[in-house]
Amino acid sequence: MQTVTKSFSGITAKCVVEFYLDWLDELIDRREHEGLSIFGHVAAGLYRLADARSVPFIVDGQRPFPVPRDAGWPGWRQIDPQEFAASIASRILDLEAREAPPKVLPHAIRAIGLTPRTASKDIALMQ
């Protein structure tokens, strides 16, 4: 799990962000040490997807394998980061509201380009 959340090419894909949000939703109610640890790693992975982007857009669409040398990728499109942030806002802000303090999701929320709703005193410090 830690290896997966640290693996990142620099290109953020819509489906990967949605996978992370699904994963966080499955973990949000776990309050034991292992569940909180996994939640933290997944939230850090989501943060990396937003903070370490090497291209100024989010990608969506299927990636063909093998990748054709001379043809485009059918159905592939670029999404503006603000448009994408708005499309996932209600979902990630709901997760933030459900997370117990000290909260780590506000860091990912800021990296995505949204404003967290958590009071500063309830946000975990980053290492």
Instruction: Compute the Cα dihedral for 59, 65, 69, 73 and give only its sign.
Output: negative
In a domain, 83, yes or no: yes
In a domain, 97, yes or no: yes
Instruction: Compute the Cα dihedral for 12, 88, 38, 118 and give only its sign.
Output: positive
Residues spanned by the domain of 101: 2-65+74-122
In a domain, 127, yes or no: no
In a domain, 110, yes or no: yes
Say which DSSP state 30 is in.
-
């670029």: which residue's tokens? 78
Q: How many domains does the chain have?
A: 1
In whole angstroms, what is the distance from residue 4 CA to residue 48 CA? Answer: 12
- How would you write the pLDDT of the chain (127 residues) with one tens digit per residue? 778 888 888 889 999 999 999 999 999 999 999 999 999 999 999 999 999 999 999 999 887 777 777 766 777 899 999 999 999 999 999 999 999 999 999 999 999 999 999 999 999 998 7
Q: Which two structure tokens, joined as six digits, stand for 22?
A: 């699904």
Q: Is the pTM of this model over 0.75?
A: yes
